[in-house]
Amino acid sequence: MFRSVLMAGVASLALALPAMARENHAILIGASTYTNLNERFWLRGPANDIGLVQQFLTTSASSPFEADNITVLADGVDGATAPTLAAIRAAFAQLASEVQAGDFVYLHFSGHGSQAPAMDPDSELDGLDELFLPVDIGPWDDTVGTVENALVDDEIGQMIDGLRERGATVWAVFDSCHSGTATRAAPTGDDEVRLRKLSPSALGIPDDALADAEATSRALPDPRARPDSPVSSDAEGGFVAFFAAQTNETTPEKRLPKGKKGRRSQGVFTFVLFETLAQNPGITYRQLGQEILRRYAVKNMARSTPMFEGDLDTVVFSGEPVQPVTQWPADVSDNIVTVPAGALHNLTEGAELALVAAATDGDDAVLGYFQVDYADTFSAEVVPIAANGKAAIAPDDIPNGAYLRKQGQGIDFTMTVALPEPGSTHDATIAEAVQEMQDNGELGARIQFVEAGEDADIRMAILPESPRPDAVWLLPSSGLFDPDNPSQTPSVGITDKAADEFAFVLADSLTHMARAINLLKIGGGYGVSDLDVEVELRTRNKRNKKLRSLDTVSVPKLIPGDEVHILATNNTDQPVDVNVLYVGSDFSIGHFFAGRMQPGDSLKKGLLRITDTAFGRDRVIMVLTPAQPQTAVENLAFMEQEELERTRATTRDNQTRLEAAFAQAGFGTVTRGAVALGDEEDGPGGSVLQFEIDAVPGDG
């Protein structure tokens, strides 16, 4: 698999860049139009991915790239070379002859992936090679046992090793997938969602060849285990790899950004990655990976699991840590005011910006206010408004060198739900339930229904071929359904309930999903903090009672009986309150701990034990809030369902902004996928940390 081949040499790496001047290089590969394949297998998004990445590297990267140092191999991009196998090999060979020790290389692969019988079966645990497909991909050649013009994972690893052997640090991003069974189950509008995988059968690989290859597979002895990387190579340069999905998953492309004018087909992984980077420049690869996982959950766009490998604790692009950019120079031309930031930087229509004469001016020196009138990916037009006691300022009155500074942005707690396609025998029942929810004042304001095919966070669907043909399935925004794992997707039966009962259960299911997603939304507003608290998750079980660290960016797998513990150290000079919550794969929420750490204190606490009641993607959420001495410990136990009504009826005069956000989100339901270990219930600048866990069946 890609991961095993590409990770050679990372484990023992300790790279020290020389003091000489470094250069940044990039090879960007986007394959969309596969002329030797049926047109239904063509993609739309890779060319747009490459355009976005190229513009980001040259204009927005914390360590900018010179345009001449970027090689673009993409069909559909003006002036680019077609991404054939020969062109890809030539580009890597050319770059390997040019890079110097200390240089940085960014590699991006957008396009179809697939699998084929491994040319060297001993190199693959599952007996299959992972493939990236250039545009001149051909059919399976049974005489030599290969797919014509396929780029095999082993060869990609060798090409990357050629760069690292020159002393260059390499970051490779793969927005493709190779397997998985997700199918299109709900309309998303304009046929926008496509999967970046090609089944082996589409390449003409015989079923018996695949069966023979899989017969050589060597299954992992423990469902929690991860494949080992091969023996470290002698390559000198550092290496990081980001993958859009695990090898048994799919990854989609869809029109992004959601709800924006002029949105284009993009790889979901590519867009979320660079959206995160644009808003958080100068973070580490580990922080970047963790935030991507959180956004996947919040946006509900894909059920795939991105993977992140390598030297993850270094800063992206081998740069230096920097603070997020929240202000941009104002440009006035023909009475139109623009800023060089847009939807990728979270500047959405209606966002408010304050005008200051210089970037270093304080908030008390604001000259006036502007509002975003239109935003595309990298730029936004703004218009003057009267606000906060200041009159609207004319564009001609904006001083030279002025900046527009983004003001605080609230969290949107609404959830959009697309209705099922009409035509089923259940239309009347669903319409009645939806009307009842819309008539509910608070619920109707939080959950907004749109027609099938429109932009939505959740898509309702009737699936006659599914295990529950008389149920409403609640699908992600991609409209994709995994028939091999139906239990991972919520559904509400119709025919087994009276109309009022169905309406109640549907409303309850949607509010459960909204509450869980809202918790993760809050994490986005408070995830980056100067609060110096070290946090580590650890695990143990009855067979292995020694506590060991969990690599939380890799989404570890845990089985029933595994315990999760926390080790946290407060390195600040003030008390910090800690709350731990657990968001289950069924969108439930449990509260497992509340307590206070004094300056210098460490917290060692057993949190939970995985049960066999529910399997899927679970999340441990840690809420860290600075505390004043002699105050009550912040306790978020009200987020559980049994205390929700009582807490919402209570007003609190001294709520912090973070507390108010939790209260407004309307949380609460107990977890079913884990149980607490023990029953202890012990201003500004808070932090919300999220850790992903896959609860999977045991090995018996």
Write the pLDDT tens digit of every residue in 397-440.
999 999 999 986 667 788 899 999 999 899 999 999 999 888 88
- pLDDT at residue 540 in the model: 93
Q: Is 352 left (phi over 0), alpha (psi -120 to 50) or beta?
A: beta
List alpha helices for 369-498, DSSP H: 427-439, 441-446
What are the CA-CA distances from residue 527 to residues 306, 524, 538 (Å)? 19, 5, 21
| Residue from 108, 127, 105, 106 nearest 118 by CA | 127
Instruction: State the pLDDT confidence band at 678, using cuts at 50, 70 and 90.
Output: very low
Residues 265 and 216 in one domain: yes
Cis ω before 399 (30° cut-off from 0): no
What is the rounded distance in angstroms from the CA atom of residue 21 to the CA atom of residue 103?
8
Q: Of 455, 480, 515, which closes a domain? A: 515
Q: How far is CA 185 from the centre of its chain?
A: 22
Residues 502 and 560 in one domain: no
Task: Report how many domains make up the chain.
Answer: 4
* Most confident option among 53-57, 117-121, 150-154: 53-57
Instruction: State the pLDDT confidence band at 530, using cuts at 50, 70 and 90.
Output: low
What are the CA-CA distances from residue 158 to residues 2, 93, 154, 235, 392 (Å)? 11, 11, 6, 11, 60
Q: How far is CA 474 from the centre of its chain?
A: 20
Residues 310 and 369 in one domain: no
What is the rounded distance in angstroms from the CA atom of residue 533 to the CA atom of residue 283?
17
Q: Is the pLDDT of residue 644 over 50?
A: no
Residues 466 and 597 in one domain: no
pTM: 0.81
Residues 197 and 54 in one domain: yes
Please give the span between the terminal C-alpha atoms of the chain, in angstroms, as a whole number: 27
523 domain-assigned: no
- pLDDT at residue 10 in the model: 37
Q: Of 401, 423, 450, which closes a domain? A: 401
Beta carbons within 8 Å of 26's beta carbon, 6+ residues apart? 53, 54, 57, 65, 69, 70, 71, 105, 106, 107, 108
| Residue from 556, 616, 607 nearest 587 by CA | 616
| Mean pLDDT of all residues belonging to the chain | 82
pLDDT average, residue stretch 267-277: 94
Write the pLDDT tens digit of every residue in 104-141.
999 999 999 998 888 776 666 667 888 999 999 998 88
407 domain-assigned: no
Q: Is the pLDDT of residue 88 over 90?
A: yes
- pLDDT at residue 597 in the model: 93
Residues 314 and 335 in one domain: no
Instruction: State the pLDDT confidence band at 516, using cuts at 50, 70 and 90.
Output: confident
Residues 563 and 473 in one domain: no
Residues 232 and 303 in one domain: yes
pLDDT average, residue stretch 185-212: 76
- pLDDT at residue 486 in the model: 82
409 domain-assigned: no
520 domain-assigned: no
- pLDDT at residue 625 in the model: 87
Residues 121 and 224 in one domain: yes
- pLDDT at residue 277 in the model: 93
| Residue from 353, 391, 392, 388 nearest 372 by CA | 353
Residues 303 and 357 in one domain: no
Residues 494 and 604 in one domain: no
Q: Which residue has the higher pLDDT, 512 or 113?
A: 113
| Residue from 510, 447, 497, 458 nearest 481 by CA | 458
561 domain-assigned: yes
In terms of residue numbers, what domain contains 484?
415-515
In sequence order, the β-bridge partners of residue 356 are 403
456 domain-assigned: yes
Write the pLDDT tens digit of every residue in 609-623.
887 766 677 888 888
CA 557, 591, 652 angle in degrees (round to 5)? 145
Q: Are 375 and 261 in contact (CB under 8 A)?
A: no
Q: Is the pLDDT of residue 683 over 50?
A: no
What does the DSSP 8-state code read for residue 353?
A: E
506 domain-assigned: yes
Q: Of 447, 480, 515, which closes a domain? A: 515
Instruction: State the pLDDT confidence band at 547, using cuts at 50, 70 and 90.
Output: very high
406 domain-assigned: no
CATH at 354 = 2.40.10
Residues 537 and 680 in one domain: yes
